[in-house]
Amino acid sequence: MASVNRPLSPHLGIWRWRVHMLVSILHRATGDGLAIGGTLLFLWWLVAAATGPEAYETFLSIASGWVGITILVALTWAVYQHMMSGIRHLAMDTGWGYDLATSKLTAILTILASLTLTAITWAIILYV
């Protein structure tokens, strides 16, 4: 018979949202997004290039429009966020950064670094 006083299994209803959780979820989401979105974009480009000039012009017109630029900026941010989070995880794999203050700081820095690197990358692409 089940005991009434048994401990509950932790779930999202119990835990308060913190930046550490966000970065962990973003790491998984950006990895999946890069794998799926990057593959689909690459395949579309490859098929358009192999199909002919008209298909490639269609690809270029969409990719250089506001929808394409938005998708490319999102993919750029995903690359940087995944990379920064991966570096954070690599450092944590050595046993460094598990205390709450350092973990919170590095989680915030991964988000700030990814946004900064994305902005720098796109400033170079659009204005240089």
The domain locations on the chain are: 19-127
| Predicted local confidence at residue 12, as pLDDT | 62
Closest CA to 70 of 113, 122, 124: 122
Radius of gyration of the chain (CA): 20
* Cβ neighbourhood burial of 22 (10 Å; 0-12, 13-18, 19+): middle
Q: Which residue has the tokens 């204005």?
A: 127
Quick one: tokens of 85? 């989070």
CATH architecture of 19-127: Up-down Bundle (1.20)
Q: How many angstroms separate the CA atoms of 40 and 89, rounded?
A: 27
| Predicted local confidence at residue 17, as pLDDT | 82
Give me the half-sphere count of Cα atoms (radius 13 Å) on the Cβ side of residue 86.
Answer: 10
Q: DSSP label at 96?
A: -
Q: Which residue has the tokens 């900026």?
A: 73
Mean pLDDT by 10 residues, the chain (128 residues): 66 78 96 96 97 97 96 97 97 95 97 98 96
Task: Give the pTM.
Answer: 0.86
